[in-house]
Amino acid sequence: MTGWIRGGQQVLLGLCLVLIVAACRAFSFPDRDVAGATEPPPVTPSVSAETSVVHRMPPGPVSTLTLLSQAELLVALGPLGDAETNPIWQLYRGYGDSWQRLAWPDGIAPYAFHVPPAGDPIFAVPLSNALLGSGQPWGLLRSTDAGQSWQQVLKGLGDPYVMDVALSPRFPEDRTAVAVTWRHGVYLSHNGGDSWQPLSYPRPIDASGGANPYDLAIALSPDFHGGTARRPVTQGQVVASYAHGLHIWSATTSQWQTVSITVPSRLEDHDPPSAPLTAGAIAFSPDFAQDSTLYLYSGYAGLFRSNDGGNTWQFVGRELPAPVPPTRAFHLEVVSANVACVLLATPSEETEAPAFPSLHNRQQLLYCTHDGGTSWHTLQPPPEVGTVSAFTMRRNTDGTIVLYLGSTQGGVFEYSVEALSWQ
C-alpha cells in the first residue's frame, strides 16, 4: 500500500487498523470489563392492533415452542421480513386453530421462554448478539400480564448476559427462580424475579461455558423447593453449567459440588482434544425422585445421561451427529427416564452456519430415544410440517407422549409419538 506522501500512508494505515479491529470484534466474546455492559437499554414492547385478531395458525417460521398449560402453547415466530437487515419476531399464544398475537419488544430475538405450572408470570431469555460484539445485551424479561407487556428484571444481576433460567416446580409457593449468566455464574430470586442474589461460587469465575463457550445452562429437580437467603434450597437440587464445569447445589450440602469429569471431543484434530464436561441444556426426568435420571447436551461433546442424580455421566449420543463448537443450536426435552428428544442442526449446516443464532432458518433433525439413549430414531416429518424448526413434548396421565412440532413454513402441529414415522 503506497501513497503520495508519508502522511497519506499513515492515514491509510490507520483506516486499515480500524477495519481490522472492527472485524475481529465481530467474532470475539465479551470482555469482563466492557463499558456499559451492565446497563442494557430499556425495553419497549411493540404493541399492534393485530393483538386482538385471532389467527387460524401462527403465520411464520416457528423459532420456539413452550407449553403454557394442557390447552395452550406459547409460540415465537421469526425472523420475519429481512432477516439480515431488519429481522422481526412475533409472539403468539393459543392452540389448534385459534391463536392470538401478544406484545413483544422490537429488535429482540427470543431464545427461550419459561413458565411456571400456573402459567404466570412468563420469563423470556433473549438471544443477545452482543456476545458476538454486535448490539446490546437485553438481560432477562418478564411478563406479569400474560404477555401483554414486558419488563426487564435486572435488580441485583451483576451481569446482563443471562444465558438460561429455571423456575421452581413450586413457584406459586416459593416464588423461586434461578439464572445463569455469562460472566458471574448463578443468581437466585425468592420474589419472582423482582430482585436477585448470587449463589456464591468459591473461586473466581472464568467467563463463557468452556470448550463450547455457549455451554451455560441451569435446571432444578422436580422435587426442588426454594427457601430463604440463608438457606436458598430446602429440598432437591440445582444443576448448572458455568465456570467451565458442571456443578450441583443440593439441599443437603448447601454449597456447589463440581462434577469432575473430563470428556473427549468427538471431532478429529479438534482443539482442545478433551475438556471438563459442560452443558448447553440440562433436563431432569419428571420422576427424578424415583429414578435419579437426568440428561444433558454439550455443544462440545454431545449427549450424556446420569442415573445417580448427576454424580456420574454416561455418553449416550453415539448415533447422533457430533456437535461442532462453538454452537448453541440445539434443544433437549425429557419426559421420562428412558424417553428424550433433541433437535440438532444437520452436520453440513452446523459447519457452515453462524454459531450463536438459535435454530430458526437452519436445517435440523429431531432425534428421539425410547431406551435411555441406547438407540435413537430420526423423525420423518409429515408433509404438512415440512422442516421442523422447534418442538416441545408432554406425557399424558395415561402414558401417551404428545409431540408439538413447529415448522419453518409456519404452523404448529400436534401428534402422538406412535402416529409419526421414525427412521
Q: What is the pLDDT of residues 90-113, one digit of tens each?
A: 999 999 889 999 999 988 889 999
Residue appearing with cell numbers 424475579: 193
Which are the contacts of 397, defined by CB distance < 8 A and separation ≥ 6?
none
- Residue 4 within a domain: no
Is residue 362 one of the residues assigned to a domain?
A: yes
Domain assignment present for residue 48? The answer is no
pLDDT surpassing 50 at residue 364: yes
Q: Supply the pLDDT for residue 6.
A: 38
Q: Is residue 170 part of a domain?
A: yes
Evaluate whether residue 9 is within a structural domain. no
Set of cell numbers at residue 247: 456443578
> Is residue 16 situated within a structural domain?
no
Task: Name the pLDDT band for 50 (thresholds 50, 70, 90).
Answer: low
| Per-residue pLDDT at 132 | 62
Q: Would you state the cell numbers that stand for residue 388, as one nine-digit string?
A: 421442523
Residue type, 186: V
Is 87 inside any structural domain? yes
Average pLDDT over residues 10-29: 38
- pLDDT reported for residue 117: 84
Residues 6+ positions from 286 with CB-CB distance below 8 Å? 222, 334, 335, 336, 395
Distance in angstroms (rounded) separating the CA atoms of residues 43 and 104: 10
For residue 18, give the 3-state DSSP assignment: helix
Residue 376 φ/ψ, nearest 5 degrees: -130, 145
Q: Which amino acid is at 58?
A: P
Q: What is the mean pLDDT of residues 129-137?
A: 65
Strand intervals (E) in 260-362 = 262-264, 274-276, 281-284, 294-298, 302-306, 314-315, 330-334, 340-345
- Domain holding 301, by residue range, is 58-422
Among the ranges given (47-61, 112-126, 157-171, 307-321), the one the predictor scored with the smallest mean pLDDT? 47-61
Query: φ and ψ at 141, to 5 degrees?
Result: -110, 150
What is the predicted pLDDT for the residue at 355? 43
Per-residue pLDDT, 28 = 38
pLDDT at residue 360 in the model: 45
pLDDT in tens, 148-193: 999 999 999 989 899 999 999 999 999 999 999 999 999 999 999 9
Q: Which DSSP string do the residues of 29-92 spell out, in sequence order?
A: PPPTT-TTTT-PPPP-EE--GGGGPEESS--S-EEEEEEEETTEEEEEEEEES-TTTS-EEEEE
Overall domain count for the chain: 1
- Asked whether the beta carbons of 7 and 138 are under 8 A apart, the reply is no
Phi, psi (5° rounding) for residue 217?
Answer: -155, 160
Q: In what order do the strands lie in the sheet with 151-152?
A: 109-114, 122-127, 141-143, 151-152
Identify the CA nearest to 236 among candidates 251, 217, 248, 246. 251
Asked if residue 308 has pLDDT above 50, the reply is: yes
Neighbours of 9 (CB within 10 A): 13
- In-domain check, residue 274: yes
Q: Which amino acid, 300?
A: Y
What predicted TM-score, i.e. pTM, was given to this entire model?
A: 0.87
Cis peptide before 121 (omega within 30 of 0): yes
Secondary structure (DSSP) of 196-241: -EE---SSPPPSS-SSSTT--EEEE-TT-EE--SSSSEEESEEEEE
Please, what's the b/e burial string for 156-181 (b: 16 or more CB within 10 A of its CB; e: otherwise)?
Answer: ebebbbbbbbbbbbbbeebbbbbbbb
Query: What secondary structure letter does DSSP report for 378?
Result: E
User: How far, rounded to the nearest angstrom, does the alpha carbon of residue 148 sit from its chain's CA centroid?
Assistant: 23
Stretch (H or E) spanning 394: strand 388-395
Question: The domain spanning residue 310 has which CATH number?
Answer: 2.130.10.10
Task: Let me know how long the chain is.
Answer: 423
CA 415 to chain centre: 24
Q: Is the pLDDT of residue 357 over 50?
A: no
> Mind listing the pLDDT tens digit for each residue in 232-274?
999 999 999 999 999 999 999 889 999 999 999 998 888 999 9
For the chain, the 3-state helix, strand and coil shares in percent, each to the nearest 5, are: 10, 40, 50
Beta-ladder partners of 372: none
Q: What is the mean pLDDT of the chain?
A: 84
